[in-house]
Amino acid sequence: MKISGKSNIRNNLEISAKLKKIFVLIPDGVGLRNFVYSSFPEIAAGEGMEIVYWNQTSKNLKKEGLQEIKLKGKPGIFTDLFKRAKIENELNCFKERFKDPVYDTYKFPSSSVGIKNKLKNRIVRFLIGLYPGQKGVRKLQEKMEQSERRSFFYSQCRTLLEKEKPALLFCTNQRPIKALAPILAARDLGIKTGCFIFSWDNLPKATKIMNTDYYFVWSELMKDELLKYYPDIQPEQIKITGSPQFEVHFENEYKWERKQFFDTFGLDNKRKYLCFSGDDITTSPGDHEYLEDVARAVEKLNSQGENLGIIFRRSPVDLSDRYDRVLDVYKSIITPIAPAWEKKGDNWNEVIPKEEDQTIQANTIAHSFMVINLGSSMVFDYASYSKPCAFINYNPGGAEMLKDVAVIYDYVHFRSMPEGAVYWINDRNEVDKVIKQVLELKAGNVIQNAEVWFKRINKQPADKATDRISNYLKELIKN
């Protein structure tokens, strides 16, 4: 029987009235990028959901016309120590269970500068010895949660949740320790909880510090990983959605014409530009040397008749001055286009994006012909435009590396890569040859293989991740 328009409206209103509000926890800039600067607010509203952002960042979301409750507070004094011990013990368990030494390479030494840091490190070493094995991991998780439940921060979260009574608390990042108290408070009150695993490389690193009712992942591959590393999780708890971070590449509203982009950032319209995307200082302390190697290669190609330039996009969390000398020496070749992020605290996760950074990144990719970096996920951003990526695969000359570059490419997340999905630069003398290959339009197979890789790690179509997330959230609060 055909239903009239008025009946449809009435039914929609009845459905909307039954839907309760969702708290979306934003602990850092990653959450802003994926769930504020995306189509998520609009799509969720269109689905009849009431979204309230529980905002732990300095960004004022009310100015964006969004519902916001600011959340301020710090984790308990011992919580971070239990977290550090738990992560290292969990990596030890992964190594033993899967007979794979790669998990040792995920351990970075903590700072030992000052008496306070030395004391913290001793406590962590003691906890690791006191609670070994998988039973120890569970015990450390319990201790971490107990520590948070004793904090004033937890009491604040619980009081607010009792007052607001959301149907669901959805955390946009599974790793920040300051997100643990809100999740625990919700669980203790019987409120449904979910979290988004924000990056493709996170699960093997043991960075999941919270237990929730539901987990949102990028792909079938990540679902399999979650079940592998955390066998207590049931398959029906996992929702495969893709990541919102790639949607910007498929939305025309962010795209500029070449002239507008070149004029805005002072680029030479007669040149072809490649992008060098920087890495964080921990992963790639010699990144400035790599940039110089690329600049020398471009200088050589230009002397042979090419007219090339470099757009340098540094890692948003790297605010060091290590590139300054190279940028000055090669200023006729390199144009830095800084990410539009701002520092709001002392830690890396307190550097938060501005909304315009999505436009800057999307147009940097649209108006450059390739990207060169050290194992960055920018390979997938460029695959979205059918453009190639070259991975640097040699150690820099003058930097002391915490890890050999070859170890980085043995990380678990790179094992999903098809053969020939990137160009490999195995020596600084190969940079110009790789760039030349791309210019000669020999990148076809590389691009196709990169696109296969992208489809493997992120559910397709890539521009529908937010729709899928919204649909699952709506489903969860209906049930």
**Domain segments of the chain: what residues?**
12-75+151-243+463-478, 79-148, 248-457
**The predicted structure's pLDDT at residue 109:** 79
**The predicted structure's pLDDT at residue 1:** 27
Considering just the CA atoms, what is the radius of gyration of the chain in Å?
24
190 φ/ψ sector (left φ>0, alpha ψ -120 to 50, else beta): left
Other beta carbons less than 10 A from residue 101's beta carbon: 10
Write out the H or E segment, with its range, that includes residue 240: strand 238-240
What does the block give as tokens for 94? 């992964």
**The predicted structure's pLDDT at residue 403:** 64
State CA 281 to chain mean position distance: 16
- Name which CATH class applies to 12-75+151-243+463-478: alpha beta
Q: Which amino acid appears at position 350 of this protein?
A: E
**The predicted structure's pLDDT at residue 280:** 85
Q: Is the dihedral of CA 451, 452, 458, 463 positive or negative?
A: positive
51 φ/ψ sector (left φ>0, alpha ψ -120 to 50, else beta): beta
Let me know if the fold of 12-75+151-243+463-478 is the same as that of 248-457.
Answer: yes
**The predicted structure's pLDDT at residue 3:** 28
248-457: CATH topology is Rossmann fold (3.40.50)
Dist CA 404 CA 375 (whole Å)? 13
User: Each residue's pLDDT tens digit in the chain (479 positions)?
Assistant: 222 332 333 344 344 444 589 999 999 999 999 999 999 999 999 999 999 999 999 999 999 999 999 999 999 889 999 999 999 999 999 999 999 999 999 998 788 889 999 999 999 999 999 999 999 999 999 999 999 999 999 999 999 999 999 999 999 999 999 999 999 999 999 999 999 999 999 999 999 999 999 999 999 999 999 999 999 999 999 999 999 999 999 999 999 999 999 999 999 999 999 999 999 888 888 999 999 999 999 999 999 999 999 999 999 988 899 999 999 999 999 999 999 988 776 555 568 899 999 999 999 999 999 999 999 999 999 999 999 999 999 998 755 555 688 889 999 999 999 999 999 999 999 999 999 999 998 878 999 999 999 999 999 999 999 999 999 999 999 87
Other beta carbons less than 10 A from residue 266's beta carbon: 8
Residues 6+ apart with CB under 8 A from 359: 248, 254, 256
**The predicted structure's pLDDT at residue 11:** 42
**The predicted structure's pLDDT at residue 8:** 37
Annotate 259-325 with DSSP letters as a single string: HHHHHHHT--TTSEEEEEE---TTT-TTHHHHHHHHHHHHHHHHHTT--EEEEEE--TT---STTHH
Residue 205, Cβ density class (10 Å: 0-12 exposed, 13-18 middle, ≥19 buried): buried
Residues 6+ apart with CB under 8 A from 158: 185, 188, 189
